[in-house]
Amino acid sequence: MNKIKLNKTRESNVSGYSKSFPTTFKYAKNDILIDDKDKEYLDFFSGAGALNYGHNNDILKEAIVNFLKSDAPVHCLDMDSVIKLNFLNKITEVILKPRGFDYKIQFPSPSGTNAVEAAIKLARKVTKRKKIVAFTHSFHGMTATSLAISGSQEMRHQDIPSQDIIFQPFDGFLGENTNTIEYISKMIATNGSGNQLPAAIILETIQAEGGIKVANEKWLQELQHFANENGILLIVDDIQVGCGRTGNFFSFERAGITPDIVLLSKSISGFGLPLSLVLMKPELDIWKPGEHNGTFRANNLSLCGATKALDYWEDETFSNNVKAKGEFIEKALKKIHENSENVLDVRGLGMIWGIEFVSGEMAKKVSKTLFEQGMIIETCGNMGQVIKLLPPLTITKSNLTKGLEKLQSVIHQVREEEILTY
C-alpha cells in the first residue's frame, strides 16, 4: 500500500501525539499497530489508557457490529434505550453489588474531563462550599476547572480564570517519613490556617501523568477518615487507572475505601469509544433534570461496548491474569533498575508502571529510540523523566516479554551512546 499523503498544514498546531509518534497508522489489533509503510509497532501506550482490552477486540467488535446491524438507536441523548438499561443493570450486578457499592450513575458528556467538571459542580452544590482540595503532581483534564485542579499543569494555570483550589502534598511528596495526612489536617481543618473548609478532595490513587506516584493504602484510608470527619466529599478520579488497570476494577479497592464520588472514562466503553460516568452515593444526587448535560452523553454505541466489556469481570479470571502480568512486569523492571545507574526508581501497580530516569532528556531519548525500533511508549512526570508502561491488559505473554526485553535493550543502548558522546 502506498504511503498516505496528508496535508499537515490543515490540522491545528495543538496536535500532540502525532509529533511524538510521527507516522500514519492504518491497522490495529490487540497489542499491535501497523503504519502506512507496513512497519509494525508494539503498543505499550493503549491510547493513554483508553484501550485496556486492546485494539479491535474481537469479542467487543462482534457485539458492536451486531448492535449497528440491528438498527437500534445510536444516539438519543439521555432518553431511555434498551442498551442503556442493559448497561445499568449489568454494571450493578457485575461491579457494584459484589463490592458492596450503591452508587447512582450519571452520564455527563463523553470525555473524562467533563466527568471531573460535573463532579466538582455537584460537590459544590451539595456542600454549598466552593474550595476544592487537589494534590501536587495531579492531572484531571484540560477544561477550565479540571486544569485548575491539575498540579502537574501549573504552568498553564495562567491561561484560565482563577479557581478556588487548595493544593496539598500527595503521599510521599514531602519525603517517605512525612505523613502528609497530618499536614493536610492541620492546613485544612485547624483554625488560623487561613483555609476555608472545602467542598471536596479529589485525587488519583495512582498519579499517572504525575510520574506513576502510587498512594499507600494506609494513606488512602486516613484521607477518607479525615474527609468523613469533616463533611468533605472524597472524589476518586479513576479515569486512567480504573477499569482493571491495577488488577481490580477500581484502583481504590486495595485500600478498602468507599469514595463519595468515582469518575470513570477512557476504557469504560471497552472499545475506545467516548464515554464517561460519574458514580455518586445516592444521597448526593440532588441534580435537577437537565442541570448538567451534553449532546453525546449516554451514547448507545459506546454503551454497547461497555456492556459487553463487563463480561471480563463476571469472575476473577481476568483480574487474576492482570495481576500476574503485573508481577511479571515488576520483576523485569526491578532487574532493569538494578543494572542501570541512569534509572532512579521503578514503581507502579498491576499493569501501570513507571521507570524514572536521571533526566527528562534521557527518558525522551528512550521513548524516541523505542519508537524507531517499533514500540509505542510515552513519558510522564513533572520533567518528563518517567517512561510510562501502559500495555493493553490483554497483551499476549510473548509480546509483553518482547516489549520488556526491547525496553531493557534500548535503555542499555542509550546509556552506551551517552558514554560515547561524553
User: ∠353-240-172 over CA atoms, to 5°?
Assistant: 55
* pLDDT of res. 178: 85
The whole-angstrom separation of Cα 367 and Cα 386 is 10
CA distance 193 to 173: 20
Quote the CATH superfamily of domain 319-421.
Answer: Aspartate Aminotransferase, domain 1 (3.90.1150.10)
The C-alpha atoms of residue 197 and residue 128 are separated, in whole angstroms, by 11
Q: Which of 30, 12, 67 is nearest to 399 (CA)?
A: 30
Please indicate whether the domains covering 60-313 and 319-421 agree at the CATH topology level: no
**pLDDT value, residue 175:** 87
Instruction: Tell me which fold the domain 60-313 belongs to.
Output: Aspartate Aminotransferase; domain 2 (3.40.640)
CB-CB neighbours of 4 under 10 Å: 11
Give yes or no for a contact between 376 and 42, defined as CB atoms under 8 angstroms apart.
Answer: yes
Going from N- to C-terminal start, the domains of the chain cover: 60-313, 319-421
* Nearest Cα to Cα of residue 236 among 212, 204, 214, 206: 204
**Amino acid present at 77:** L
- Condensed to tens digits (0 to 9), the pLDDT of residues 283-302 reads 999 999 999 999 999 999 99
**Three-state secondary structure along the chain?**
CCCCCCCCCCCCCCCCHHHHCCCCEEEEEECEEEECCCCEEEECCHHHHCCCCCECCHHHHHHHHHHHHCCCCCCCCCCCCHHHHHHHHHHHHHHHHHHCCCCEEECCCCCHHHHHHHHHHHHHHHHCCCCEEEECCCCCCCCHHHHHCCHHHHHHHHHCCCCCEEEECCCCCCCCCCCHHHHHHHHHHCCCCCCCCCCEEEECCEECCCCCEECCHHHHHHHHHHHHHCCCEEEEECCCCCCCCCCCCCCCHHHCCCCCEEEECHHHHCCCCCCCEEEECHHHCCCCCCCCCCCCCCCHHHHHHHHHHHHHHCCCHHHHHHHHHHHHHHHHHHHHHHCCCCEEEEEEECCEEEEEECCHHHHHHHHHHHHHCCEECEEECCCCCEEEECCCCCCCHHHHHHHHHHHHHHHHHHHHHHHHHC
Output the CA–CA distances (angstroms, integers) from residue 35 to 116, 225, 284, 376, 385, in the order listed. Answer: 34, 50, 47, 12, 27
Q: Which residues of the chain have pLDDT under 70?
A: 1-8, 416, 418-422
| CA-to-CA dists, residue 340 to 80, 348, 381, angstroms | 56, 18, 19
Q: Enter the C-alpha cell of residue 327.
A: 508481577
Beta-bridge partners for 355: 346, 387
Instruction: With beta carbons less than 8 A apart as the criterion, state whether 112 and 141 touch.
Output: yes
Query: What per-residue confidence (pLDDT) applies to 138?
Result: 96
Task: Please name the residues in contact with 267: beta carbons below 8 A apart, sequence gap of 6 or more.
Answer: 49, 50, 51, 52, 53, 242, 243, 244, 245, 309
Confidence at residue 420, expressed as pLDDT on a 0 to 100 scale: 55
59-85 in b/e form (b: 16+ CB < 10 A) is ebeebbeebeeeeeeeeeeeeebebbe
pTM score of the predicted model: 0.95
Q: What angle do CA 400, 406, 409 make, to 5 degrees?
A: 145
What type of residue is 367?
A: S
